Structure 1
Amino acid sequence: MAASAAALANRHILSTILLHLSDMKYKDRRQYGPDQPVEFLEFRPTLVPAILVNKLWADEGTSILWRRYPHLPSLKHMPSERRQYYADKVHQVFALSPPMGGAETLDYLEGLSWPNLKSLELEVDLQPYGAPFKSMLHAGLEHVELSGFQSGRSQFFVENILPTLFNSGKNLQSIRIGPDTIMDDDPVHASALYEYLDALPAIRAIEVKLVNFMDKDALFTRLSQRKGLQSLQIDLDPGLALLPILTGAHALPSPFASLRRCSIMCYPEIALALPTHLRMLEELQLDIARLPISPHHPSDFTIFEDMIAELSHCPELRNLKIGVSSLAVDFPSSILLPRLSGSALASLAETCPKLEDINLLATEPSAIDGSLISVRDFESFCKALPHLRSLGLKLQPTTASALEMTSLQSLGQHCPELEVLRLKVAFQLSTLTGSDSMPQILISDNEFAPEVPAHPDVLPLFPKLTHLALSRPDTDLAPVSDSFTSSVSSHSTSIVDPTVEEDLVRSWARPLLAHFPRLEILEAWGDFSGEDNESLNYFLPTQEILASTWEFLSGIEQDLWEDDEDIFKDSFEEGDSWHSLEDWEKASLINEFAFGEDGPEDVHEVYPDMGKLALRDEEPEGMITPGRNVESDDYFEDSPVHP
């Protein structure tokens, strides 16, 4: 006891413990109403109880709380002489402009110094609100970032904003300028950056992607010879003007010799010419597009395969993301798909054996033709990537039927580190090996519980997987193909025998429990036909495994809004084990009842406590379940149709 008390009175030990506590996090779901979507929120333990222990604990606890992205507006509620005490603790700042039209100001930041600040991220209009942040741009700053609308025109940007951002001295290591900072009708020439970049040799990371700079090609050429540059994010000018400096007799000598991370939007010809110069590259993100002014070329269909062939020059590659956007007026489309062969996938794994993260996609409404991916090639791909942590392949489900039965087994057997798996394939999850030893899901009066497997030595295929995305399969619960156009708003109105429905849901729920013990997100990535491009997420699905599985198979948005069980319990026969209104029954009742202003009188007579709960046979025609999120891929969120 004395030893523990002494340890907790030691500043270093106490700080280590509280820092570890603050780094812990847990995730939970929230749904604030039956008409609201489910949200997946991340929480961290509060340090407030620790801060209240004594002065030492308060000092260390507040230091941790203020170190990383503190809530700066809380300073305005403090005495002015106390604000500097907290400003001294800050290492990272993210700041926003005050709300437009309001009376709020940033006066509480004036007169403060920030001696320990290392990272400054501003989503602030610097023309009216920039003055309080100048004291943050000191010699010790290592990262600076500007995003958000800037009311000043290009002259103000060149004469005021750029000198302000680069004013932090020779220790600045990275700079990012966001896409909304320069007005579309008033661009700035990229040469405005040259003198500042030349004066700051310590800068290792530069991001100017989708910023309204003119002549990005010239900036790219200049940066290709910059010594020590490790990270670059940029979109190039439309066209092929850069090809002569990348290929042929007049190519630049050893461009980007030190580059480790690269994110580029460019024409496919430029993308294909880059890898031979990027032998030290570890992370590559390519957004491939053209100005879509002409019909497609035959080579457009093989852009993924051609790109993978060039990646043999990048043996250190760990993270790879390739997205294909508009290459022609009619390509890619829902009919014309870029293709990916199994031999190309196997070759990628063989030449880049350190890959941990792979994401290949074509933008909506297109996908990748996977008809040339054989079971054997996919097995070879998996065998060569034992360190794979994340895999995303946006295949057209109807072209990838060969992968439905075996690809999960291949990934589970050879890629034990997988945490994220997004394959747009209509897997038959119920056929996973080991079904004889899978848990039986028992319904009690109060909860469901998996029965102990008959063979406890059977190990889960995906012990670390937290996110699983696949296309909804063709089952009795799947929506009828002609009942929707581009999205699914409700489940099929066809009647399914309850016993068949229950058996189907259980046959899918059991492998989810057995082989995905850490699953946090189950994602329905479209459907088996490839017509439905929407993505639905089911958060923490194993907490209500039967309900989540039923929702997934039916194409229904996750619903956590529960009615009082006492309202319904008398409507089911006593002794019927699965009519207990628990997990399975909640799933079956989704969309069977709806709250409305006027409910049938006979319902209120039978269930007097139901209020305005009204029977509904099916959703009205054209009804869209609220709260859906259209699928988006992070590196196309802000991208235009063409570079």
Structure 2
Amino acid sequence: MEPASSQALGIAHVVANILHRQVEHFQQVNGHTAFRLSQFALVNKLWADEATEMIWAHLDELAPLERVKPERRQYYAAKIRSLKVVLDPRSPPATACLSGLALPRLREVELMFYYDATLQHIPPVLTSEVRAVTVHFSPRCLARACDYAFEAMMTRCHHLETLKYIGPSRHLDPVKLLSLMSSQRQTLLDVRIHMADSLSQHSLTEDITTHLAERSMVRRIYAPKSELHAPRIQVPFKHLEILETRIDYRSLYTVSGSLPGLKTLRINLLRCEDLPSEPLDPILSRLANSTQLEILKIDRRPRPREGTSGVQTPVTLSGPAFASFAQACRNMKELSLSIQPGMVAQDFTVVHLERAALCFPQLREVALFLTPEASSVAAAAVSIFGRNCPELESCHILGEVTVLDIDWETETVFPNLRRLSLNQIRGQETNWSLDTYDSKLRKKFPRLELLQVMKSFPGPLSAGASYLYDVPRAPRSDPCA
């Protein structure tokens, strides 16, 4: 039984939600109603204080603070935990309301730069207590604004744990970024870089992701549009736990043996057009021996407007290597080898797939893209993973496989599967109806929410489309469905 004080604090949240839904014409603060709760007879001071804490904890704009009387601003400012500030010197300064205010609980700050800013324009929200900073630059913003923002963080913040950059790559200077990271060396663990363009468009002498991995203590790097190159020192990535980036085959092979603490790897595998083939076997072997992988995603998509005329370097995968990798990575939760247009299976049989699936008791998501030559493996993949992976929620198989290839006759049930995707590239029509399989789908996949069928499908549909079907909980023949 919870104490009376805990129950009272819980009631405050309920009361605040009821009030801000009933009174729509009052001023809004991030979607919550801004008025004194003590005006209501049924709300005592304890509830009012707790609801005020909840309402003012996260501010997406400074307008609510501006509307508060100056003598009351410090009271509300002391409750702010995360704050978003828009900076544009061309407009009247909206940050004047922050002047002279102390923000003792502020831990997260997001600064949005639209045109330009100097140190004088950056408000005093970057304090030594701030733990996470997001800087967001519009394409029209001047590069010096980024320099001033980094300088402000270096001089004012001393315990940063998370840094997130959103904006064009031309503003991101690797040297200044490393200087900032050096100033936060003891605490900075998470770096996220989301760029609106590609680094290849600009003449950067050093790659940002490679800098971060080689010369810092950062544990998590998110830079999906930045390329990672082969390192120049012997153990370059010993602190990394999460890495998301682009990388070519040679560099991936080089770094795959030097990631002792890595748990999550998400990469876009770039082509090496001078190689006759790109075997995944040695890379999976090195990853299995040198990492603590729980999430692995290796993705390759066709380049824009490349079509079928570009160089298609085949990616190969053998059955014994895949089974050995599974034996060494028994804590795997997400496994995605989504190489388009499919990996060439070498000595890959259903037996190897069965051995691998038995080693993944915690697997929640799986994606396996194979060429049509491995039709028997692809056709059996859904049943094998579903039978041996009780926690499986998402299954995406590409190959010469259709819904008809699922083993409908056995009693195998997929208790947790929510999404099933089959990339059907057989090129011939299959005579089946979703209405006919309603009862079978609900029996075999009791929690299935989405069925995705890609490529060829009965009817006048384009060959490259994807078709999504919401799986009903009741048969379509049921009048209540």
Q: What pairs up with 1:12-31 in 2 under 5 angstroms?
A: 12-15=6-9
The answer to whether the 8 A contact 1:332-1:362 is kept is: no
Q: Is the contact made by 2:189 and 2:220 (CA closer than 8 Å) also made in structure 1?
A: yes
Does residue 415 of the first structure (1) align with residue 400 of the second (2)?
no
Residue 140, structure 1, aligned to residue 129, structure 2: yes
One of 403, 415, 436 as aligned partner of 1:463: 415
Is there any run of 5+ residues in structure 2 with no aligned partner, and where?
Answer: 17-30
Superposed, which structure 2 residues align to 1:502-541 within 5 Å?
A: 504-527=433-456, 532-539=463-470, 541=471
Determine if contact 2:108/2:130 at 8 Å carries over to the other structure.
yes
Q: Find the residue that maps to 1:380 and give its secondary structure.
A: helix
CA distance in structure 2 between the aligned counterparts of 1:360 and 1:156, rounded to whole angstroms: 40
SS of equivalent to 2:116: helix
CA distance in 1, matches of 2:295, 2:125: 34
Contact 1:275/1:310 (8 A) holds in 2: yes
Change (3 A) 1:80 1:542: farther
Q: Does 1:387 align with 2:346?
A: no
Question: SS state of the match for residue 387, structure 2?
Answer: helix
2:423 is paired with a residue whose SS is strand
Which residue does the alignment assign to 2:23?
none
Please name the residue that 2:269 is paired with.
288
Match for 1:204 among 181, 184, 189?
189
Compared with structure 1, are the counterparts of its residues 167 and 145 closer, same or farther at alpha carbon in structure 2 (3 Å cutoff)?
farther
Separation of aligned partners in 2, 1:422 and 1:472: 11
Select 2:106's aligned residue among 117, 137, 162: 117
Q: 1:189-238 CA deviation, whole Å, 9 max, x = no partner?
A: 42223333222222122334657582334873575243x43123457987
Aligned twin of 1:175: 163
Change (3 A) 1:505 1:322: closer
Matched, 1:224 2:211: no
Separation in 1, partners of 2:284, 2:462: 28
The answer to whether the 8 Å contact 2:79/2:105 transfers is yes
Q: Which has the higher contact order (CA 8 A, sep 6+)?
A: 1
Write out aligned runs for 1:22-421 (5 A).
54=43, 55-68=45-58, 73-75=63-65, 78-94=68-84, 106-107=94-95, 110-111=98-99, 112-125=101-114, 127=116, 134-149=123-138, 151-158=140-147, 160-178=148-166, 180-183=167-170, 189-201=173-185, 202-208=187-193, 210=195, 214-217=204-207, 220=210, 223-226=213-216, 228-234=217-223, 242=230, 245=232, 252-289=233-270, 295-300=273-278, 302=279, 304-324=280-300, 337-362=314-339, 366-370=341-345, 373-396=348-371, 398-403=372-377, 405-421=379-395
- Distance in structure 1 (CA, Å) of the matches to 2:428 and 2:184: 64
Matched to 2:394, the amino acid is V
In the alignment, the residues of structure 2 paired with residue 104 and residue 518 of structure 1 have an alpha-carbon distance, to the nearest angstrom, of: 54
Paired with 1:422 and 1:428, the residues of 2 have a C-alpha distance of 12
Structure 2 distance, partners of 1:287, 1:263, is 8
State the 1:62 CA deviation. Answer: 4.1
SS at match of 2:337: strand
Post-superposition offset of 1:368: 3.3
Q: 1:376 deviation in Å?
A: 1.5
Instruction: Give yes or no for contact 1:289–1:326 (8 Å, CA) kept in 2.
Output: no
Between Structure 1 and Structure 2, the one with more strand by share is 2
- So what's the TM-score if we normalise by structure 2? 0.76
Instruction: Give the 3 Å change call, closer, same or farther, for CA 82–511 of structure 1 in structure 2.
Output: farther
Shift of 1:269: 0.9
Equivalent pairs counted in the alignment come to 450
Distance 2:379 2:15 in 1: 43
Q: Is the 8 A contact 2:87 2:121 kept in 1?
A: no
Please list, as runs of the form range in 1=range in 2, the aligned pairs for 1:632-643 lying within 5 A after superposition.
none
The alpha carbon displacement at 1:58 in A equals: 3.7
Residue by residue over 1:132-151, the C-alpha shift from the partner in whole angstroms, topping out at 9 and shown as x without a partner, is 76322111111112234154
Deviation string 1:244-298 (CA, Å, 9 cap, x unpaired) is x2xxxxxx343332221122322221111102111121111222225x7xx5421
Q: Contact conserved, 2:262 with 2:292, CA < 8 A, in 1?
A: yes
Q: Deviation digits for residues 490-526 of structure 1, max 9, x if unmatched?
A: xxxxxxxxxx97xx33442123212333333333344
Unaligned runs of 5+ in 1: 23-44, 246-251, 436-457, 479-499, 547-577, 584-643
Identity level (%): 19
CA pair 190-534 structure 1, distance change in 2 beyond 3 A: same
2:218 is matched by which residue type in structure 1? Answer: L
Distance 1:325 1:128 in 2: 39
SS in 2 for 1:59: helix
Q: Contact 1:472–1:525 (CA<8 Å) still a contact in 2? A: yes
CA spacing shift, 1:196–1:420, aligned 2, 3 Å? same
The whole-number CA distance in structure 1 between the counterparts of 2:75 and 2:130 is 19
What code does the residue aligned with 1:505 have? L
**RMSD between superposed Cα atoms in Å:** 4.5
Given that 1:229 and 1:258 are in contact with CA atoms closer than 8 Å, whether structure 2 keeps it comes out as yes
1:124 CA displacement:
3.5
Retained in 1: the 8 A contact 2:452–2:468? Answer: yes
Deviation at 1:542, TM superposition (A): 2.3
AA partner of residue 257 (structure 2): T
Distance 1:161 1:347 in 2: 48
Q: CA deviation at 1:167?
A: 4.0
Asked whether the equivalents of residues 32 and 55 of structure 2 are also in contact (C-alpha less than 8 Å), the reply is no
Distance (whole Å) between structure 2 residues aligned to residue 378 and residue 47 of structure 1: 56
Quick check: 1:378–1:407 contact (8 Å CA) kept in 2? yes
Distance in 2 (alpha carbons) for counterparts of 1:517 and 1:97: 51
Q: 1:428 aligns with which of 403, 409, 423?
A: 403
SS at match of 1:216: coil
User: CA contact under 8 A between 1:318 and 1:356: conserved in structure 2?
Assistant: yes
Amino acid at match of 1:313: N
| Aligned AA (2:420) | L
Q: Residues 345-380 of structure 1, C-alpha deviation per residue, up to 9 Å, x if partnerless?
A: 2222112221111122235xx343457642212111
1:542 maps to what in 2?
A: 472
Query: Alpha-carbon deviation of 1:409?
Result: 2.2
Secondary structure of the residue that 1:298 maps to in structure 2? coil
